[in-house]
Amino acid sequence: MDFNKARFNMVEQQIRPWNVLDQSILDLLFSIKRENFVAPELREMAFSDLELPIRIDGKNTGEVMLSPKMEARMVQELALKAHDHVLEIGTGSGYMTALLASKSESVTSVEIRPEISAFAKNNLKQAGIANVNLVVADGACGYAAGGNFDAIVITGAVPVLSANFKNQLKVGGRLLAVVGEEPVQSAVLITRMGDKEFSERKLFEVLIPELANAPQPERFHF
């Protein structure tokens, strides 16, 4: 398989048409080799417009790698700067972590499952990405130990967004999350305008798997 041709087609046929137009991000998709962040037997599927299973030692973990266009769009919407400190909830394969790290000063990435965090660590090492701190913890309601961040991204859907995430933003910081339950989920961008002032903008509708241990809405029982 010609990986470079497949990568070109991925960018031109999937990602650019999905309003990912920041050339620096499009260039990054060519330098960070997506096929190196999947199981060897899935390398030829790395450029497909779908969510790929995260498979370790031939076994599916039950978790997935988001589609290429979703990862690229998330990174673009965060509008990262070289001095930004980023919090990622849900490390997964480490591919999106690598994209975030390449656009910022540092990334703290929190993953609840140690075997997946170890898989990402190896992938990032092979890619030469060093400005990442990988943490094994439950980040569904934030990661207070990391302090406050310039940008936060949650890589799984949350039916209810914990207020802790807003409070972990620096003033001017951005939070990107997919909020809601199937069949209605929306990607939202929240910006901290002041100590107690936030703005929220709905970006697009999408369906992605739910984050492990995500907070749930109150259910009424009759």
CA angle 174, 127, 99 (to 5 degrees): 20
Q: Report yes or no: 93 and 38 within 8 Å, Cβ to Cβ.
A: yes
Burial of 58 (0-12, 13-18, 19+ CB in 10 A): exposed
Strand partners, 151: 86, 174
Q: What is the mean pLDDT of residues 109-127?
A: 98
Domain boundaries, the chain: 3-205
Q: How far is Cα 186 from Cα 205, in angstroms, rounded to an integer?
A: 4
Per CATH, the homologous superfamily of domain 3-205 is Vaccinia Virus protein VP39 (3.40.50.150)
Write down the pLDDT at residue 6.
Answer: 97
Q: What is the pLDDT of residues 188-212, one digit of tens each?
A: 999 999 999 999 999 999 999 999 9
Helix (H) or strand (E) holding 121: helix 114-127
Q: How far is Cα 177 from Cα 3, in angstroms, rounded to an integer?
A: 31
Peptide bond connecting 183 to the previous residue in cis, omega within 30 degrees of 0 = yes
Q: Is 96 helix (H, G, I), strand (E, B) or coil?
A: helix
Report the range of poorest mean pLDDT among 124-128, 157-161, 176-180, 214-218. 214-218
Q: What is the pLDDT of residues 33-82, one digit of tens each?
A: 999 999 999 999 999 999 999 999 999 999 999 999 999 999 999 999 99
Tell me: pLDDT of 220 over 80: no
Write down the pLDDT at residue 94.
Answer: 98
Q: Report yes or no: 44 and 33 within 8 Å, Cβ to Cβ.
A: no
Q: What is the mean pLDDT of residues 9-13?
A: 97
Query: Band of the pLDDT at 218, cuts 50, 70, 90?
Result: confident
Write down the pLDDT at residue 221.
Answer: 57
User: What radius of gyration, in Å, describes the C-alpha atoms of the chain?
Assistant: 17
Q: Report yes or no: 80 and 174 within 8 Å, Cβ to Cβ.
A: no
| Cα 205 to chain centroid, rounded | 16
15 C-beta neighbours (distance < 10 Å), count = 23
Tell me: pLDDT of 89 over 60: yes
